[in-house]
Amino acid sequence: MKYAALAGRQLFSMIFIISSAGHLTPQTIAWAASHHVPLPEILVPLSGLMALLGGVSVLLGLQTRFGAWLLVGFLLPVTMVMHNFWAVADPATSQIEKAMFIKNVALLGGALFIGYFGAGPLSLDGLMKRESADRANQTTPVHSIETAPAPAPAPACVDNLSAKTTRAVPRVPSPPGNNGKAGRVSQEGGRYARRVNTLS
The residue among 20, 18, 19, 68 whose CA lies nearest residue 48 is 20
Query: In this structure, is residue 62 part of a structural domain?
Result: yes
Q: Which residues contact 179 (CB under 8 A, 6 or more apart)?
A: none
Does residue 136 sit within a domain?
Answer: no
Give the residue numbers spanning the domain of 93.
Answer: 2-131
Let me know whether 119 and 191 are in one domain: no
pTM over 0.85: no
96 and 182, same domain (yes or no): no
Q: Give per-residue pLDDT as tens, 1-56.
A: 789 999 999 999 999 999 999 999 999 999 999 999 999 999 999 999 999 999 99
> Within this chain, do residues 171 and 117 fall inside the same structural domain, yes or no?
no
Of the three residues 131, 150, 173, the one that is the final residue of a domain is 131
Same-domain check for residues 126 and 179: no
Number of domains in the chain: 2
Q: What is the pLDDT of residues 63-85, one digit of tens each?
A: 999 999 999 999 999 999 999 99
Clarify whether residues 122 and 178 are in a common domain: no
Boundary residue ending a domain (131, 150, 181):
131
What letter represents residue 138's amino acid? Answer: Q
Task: Give a yes or no: residue 32 inside a domain.
Answer: yes
User: Do residue 123 and residue 166 come from a single domain?
Assistant: no
